[in-house]
Structure 1
């Protein structure tokens, strides 16, 4: 480990070699990842349609939303019941796994002595699963002696209907944590917390591992003290329709402005907000009123914010009685490397530039009083502050573009291209899922070509 590289078995080295080659290619065509994301959404939708039509595979009941779309390129990995048998996670890679109730799932990280490493685990209960407010997920990163470097938890809270939730943990190189400073083997432990309400269910997992290199020059070691914490006026004006994605990988890009969509009970929508260093986010989510029905639903709407490593930052929830309701996140501190030294956890999460994720969930219980049809969802985003230069990393993160905002992100988020981005590309494919497979493939290829032309034309 003295050469500062990530270690692992031969297969992992080959994977990393391919990743470095891809990163060099990205240097000259950095915008390509946005086109790839659109293609990924199309392919994911095609797979969903095709798989649903296969004989012998049960489909979701009509009106039952799919809870979450794991990244199509996620690599399968099995969690071990003992650290000694843990499979490796390579930073820069997305994985899919599962988490039985009552079991501990271990994974392995082989780390150098200078980079910070982060692991996020998204838990995905099946629709109809029973969960309690205190049920949730815990993620820990431990050293070779089984001692925690850090841990994080996320519970379902007041919106206690099954929905994707994510927790994160890190190995941070710091003199304050000497047991986690050195190069070597570390372990990721993912486990369930809470009551026995969901004891018989196995949850799907999406794991995302990232690495942040050290700085070229050491900077401040305390959080910024002066920043504008006054709640700004909500953004007004005509809304732009933007259908949300169904997972982190298919998140629909949005920026400052007013964005409209419909949301069905039980549905989770994901949006991607590009934030440069120095930018400050405030967001309000409004749920429209319902005509002709009434009833009170506690914890009906949840709005959550996750950072570029899919680490939980903050959330807000509200109940619903048929009248328009709103929840707000913010103001949060401007994005700054030094936020990691803050005391409030929600401030600590604003430590990276890159893609932040807004996750909106409408409780399945709403259907009992207001039917299965969509309610109007309006997002009002304000992005303040001035973009600043980054902290100056001594190496490249994994994945290579995780802590930066490229021009394509800004263009799409500002409303460029087809409304809805990758989310709408997937919706286009889903809309034709009832036709023959051969025709469906032709339609998918057509959508793919149109998306590619739009992306290239934007540059």
Structure 2
């Protein structure tokens, strides 16, 4: 009987593990639920320095949060080797409803110890007139024919904010990731021929899929037509797995409204960002109450050699992984059409057959597309939900294993008990 009680404790532990996995918090939610941007709930607080020599060191694979003032400049430190590429992204999150001038935005730069700029990206609100979350990144890229920023050592990430209209503090979400170098150098020239046509709209009709409130809980999409509703001032986030050699095409359509027919310039902004959360492209549409559509221009397939291109869009399509789409509806829409949501449809095409990854000298990390990623895209799982699903799968497999052991153990115990009592096996 003692053995049976021990078995009961094992089963109890298994049941507790299953319940705990099911009860894990987080996951995708409708964008704007609870108000504003959805920060990574595992992000650590960090304090940017005003001098590079006082900068706190960031750890690869970790997210961070900070606050930046108007016209502020903040430094962070990353320690790099001479083999891996490094990327630091920054999401700037103004207070909802704030105004924005044309040049308001952020600039993110990486520098070595001598002050040489290794790379930078500037993103502004442009002429949209309203504040919203925007993202930019900087990187140190290992290049065969370059001597700048190639050595191991301390590097510094400088985040600069430019503000004309908004004096309030902005929240920041930072993320630092690395990409392994190559075992053997590959081509650096861009292919001359590539498919530059726009594919037919995806078939199958619209399916409901609400976006997340940030990069962390972005809802997953695969090729298809996806329907949601978006409120004035709201930003929704989605992610799409795009493998090596594939192209992503995206269109946003804002549905008609019966309320009014006023004209709103730059009513919706659609942005594309890469797996390192670097800005790739954005488009905006105007709205007068009738259906209105905007689409990205055709871009090159995802390829390693794209990183050697001079234009930002091609340069950003440098690796496979989760590409992000964000859609923001201007708060100005509420003045003409009220604060109720408007219907929004995203049409996503991913074309081309996946090609082999470059010969990375190590784990590709986030710069790959796995079967699990494709399953998450089919089911709409956010990153946290996909992680919990994987946890439950492991627990389920472990449960099957423990259950099998319990059955076999009970059977052996029963046979031994019968033999000890002098009884033979039960006739079949």
The TM-score, its normalising length taken from structure 2, stands at: 0.82
- Pairwise CA distance, 1:159: 2.3
- Residue number in structure 1 paired with 2:350: 383
Counterpart of 1:340 in 2: which secondary structure?
helix
Q: Distance in 1 between matches of 2:99 and 2:57?
A: 32
- Residue number in structure 1 paired with 2:373: 409
- Residue number in structure 1 paired with 2:322: 355
Q: 1:284 to 1:189 in 2, by over 3 A?
A: same
Q: Distance in 2 between matches of 1:319 and 1:39?
A: 41
- Residue number in structure 2 paired with 1:41: 26
- Pairwise CA distance, 1:455: 11
- Residue number in structure 2 paired with 1:196: 164
Q: 1:454 to 1:41 in 2, by over 3 A?
A: farther
Determine whether 1:108 maps to 2:72. no
Counterpart of 1:409 in 2: which secondary structure?
helix
Q: Distance in 2 between matches of 1:141 and 1:405?
A: 27
The TM-score, its normalising length taken from structure 1, stands at: 0.77
Q: Distance in 1 between matches of 2:42 and 2:79?
A: 22
Counterpart of 1:152 in 2: which secondary structure?
strand
Determine whether 1:121 maps to 2:81. no
- Kindly report which structure 2 residues correspond to 1:72-221, keeping only aligned pairs within 5 A, or say none: 72-193=41-162, 195-198=163-166, 200-221=167-188
Q: 1:203 to 1:273 in 2, by over 3 A?
A: same
Q: Distance in 1 between matches of 2:317 and 2:22?
A: 24
Q: Distance in 2 between matches of 1:389 and 1:409?
A: 17
Counterpart of 1:87 in 2: which secondary structure?
coil
Q: Distance in 1 between matches of 2:284 and 2:22?
A: 30
Q: 1:219 to 1:396 in 2, by over 3 A?
A: same
- Pairwise CA distance, 1:330: 3.5
Deviation string for 1:188-243 (max 9, x for gaps)?
Answer: 000112x5211x21100000111111101110011222110112222243111001
- Pairwise CA distance, 1:254: 0.2
Q: Distance in 1 between matches of 2:110 and 2:95?
A: 26
Deviation string for 1:127-165 (max 9, x for gaps)?
Answer: 122211221000000011222111100011232311110
Deviation string for 1:8-52 (max 9, x for gaps)?
Answer: xxxxxxxxxxxxxxxxxxxxxxxxxxxx9995534x87xx9xxxx
Q: Distance in 2 between matches of 1:189 and 1:38?
A: 39
| Residues 217 and 384 in structure 2, CA contact (< 8 A), matched pair in contact too | no
Q: 1:220 to 1:379 in 2, by over 3 A?
A: same
| Residues 114 and 213 in structure 1, CA contact (< 8 A), matched pair in contact too | yes
Counterpart of 2:305 in 1: which secondary structure?
helix
Q: Distance in 1 between matches of 2:383 and 2:288?
A: 29
Q: Distance in 1 between matches of 2:77 and 2:304?
A: 27
| Residues 67 and 163 in structure 1, CA contact (< 8 A), matched pair in contact too | no
Q: 1:423 to 1:175 in 2, by over 3 A?
A: closer
Deviation string for 1:372-407 (max 9, x for gaps)?
Answer: 11111101111100011100210234xx3x011121
Q: Which deviates the most, 168-177 or 385-394?
A: 168-177
| Residues 118 and 168 in structure 1, CA contact (< 8 A), matched pair in contact too | yes
| Residues 100 and 203 in structure 1, CA contact (< 8 A), matched pair in contact too | yes
- Residue number in structure 2 paired with 1:25: none
- Pairwise CA distance, 1:273: 0.1
- Residue number in structure 2 paired with 1:20: none
Counterpart of 2:281 in 1: which secondary structure?
strand
| Residues 38 and 421 in structure 1, CA contact (< 8 A), matched pair in contact too | no
| Residues 37 and 250 in structure 1, CA contact (< 8 A), matched pair in contact too | no
Determine whether 1:229 maps to 2:205. no
Q: 1:456 to 1:248 in 2, by over 3 A?
A: farther
Return the index of the structure with the highest Cα Rg.
Answer: 2
Note the residue ranges of structure 1 that are not aligned, 5 or more in a row. 1-35, 49-62, 426-447
Q: Distance in 2 between matches of 1:110 and 1:73?
A: 22
Counterpart of 2:127 in 1: which secondary structure?
coil
Q: Distance in 2 between matches of 1:38 and 1:379?
A: 32
Q: 1:264 to 1:410 in 2, by over 3 A?
A: same
Match of residue 394, structure 1, among 356, 361, 371: 361
Counterpart of 1:180 in 2: which secondary structure?
coil
- Residue number in structure 1 paired with 2:36: 67
- Residue number in structure 1 paired with 2:5: none
Q: Distance in 2 between matches of 1:359 and 1:455?
A: 34
